[in-house]
Amino acid sequence: MTAQPIITYKKERIGYIELNRPEKRNALNAEMVVALKEAIGNFERDKEVKVMVIKAAGKAFCSGADLAYLQSLQTNTFEENLADSQSLKDLFYSIYTSPKIIIAQIQGHALAGGCGLATVCDFSFAVPEAKFGYTEVKIGFIPAIVKVFLLRKIGEGKAKQLLLDGDLISAVEAQAMGLVNWLVSADQLEERVYEYAQKLIRQNSEQSMALTKEMIGRVQEKTLEEGLQYAAAMNAKARGTADCQKGIAAFLNKETINW
């Protein structure tokens, strides 16, 4: 019996998505990409889940695209390959635009598409031993889809270094570039991610985080004038929400807010 490509479970308002192909270093194939999209969609609709965590089984977080799978696609037509690429694009887009916060828990190397998977998450915790890199140019491939998100995250200069030379970097270097938020020892990684997710759950309005995340994604597409007009409209919209009214009332009454 073939193991499921991912495992999902819930714990105290956190939806966990665990990559489950450790024997393949959690390499991405069509089945895993579809399963990830379905899991994210299911947790988005689950009112009990406020934050998601993407983690992995085994020593590697994700080694990127399954090379045997890529080789099998070489006989495809352009249209067939485009459909397959669109599936990965949809996965990354769903993570980047999800109204819920998604944290990457990186316990091992994150390479190529696996580095892309970590890149599109909102926050990332990694062990110091992890390596990161976009190695596609070394095998005649290109880091096409993730480039769109990487440029937004760390800027053109640093993105060029990662994408064009294809070398691996340490977790310390990844943090310095803005690719990783926090470095945590392996024995504390699970607990630290859990604690941070719980902090977001307890102290922040889910609606406010969703609107703020949406604005971060959308405002970068706009001119200065368009961005400010959009921001003003969203500011006005937020004032009328139930969460804003609840939060301001609790603050004025010096009450603890139960989000």
Any catalytic annotation for residue 255? no
Q: CA angle, 14 as apex, 13 and 15 as ends, to 5°?
A: 120
Nearest alpha carbon to residue 145 among 100, 98, 90, 104:
90
What phi and psi values does residue 80 have, to the nearest 5 degrees? -70, -40
* Amino acid identity, position 32: M
User: Checking DSSP bridges between strand 6-11 and strand 14-19, what pairing results, if any?
Assistant: antiparallel
Q: Which of 18, 136, 191, 226 is catalytic?
A: 136
Check if the beta carbon of residue 182 is closer than 8 Å to that of residue 125.
Answer: yes
**Residue 256: CB atoms within 10 Å:** 6
> Which residues have a Cβ under 8 Å from the Cβ of 78 and sit 6 or more positions away?
none
Q: Which of 204, 193, 195 lies closest to 118 in space, CA to CA?
A: 193
Token output for 88:
């990965």
Tell me if 113 sits within 8 A of 163, measured CB to CB. no
Which residues are catalytically annotated? 136
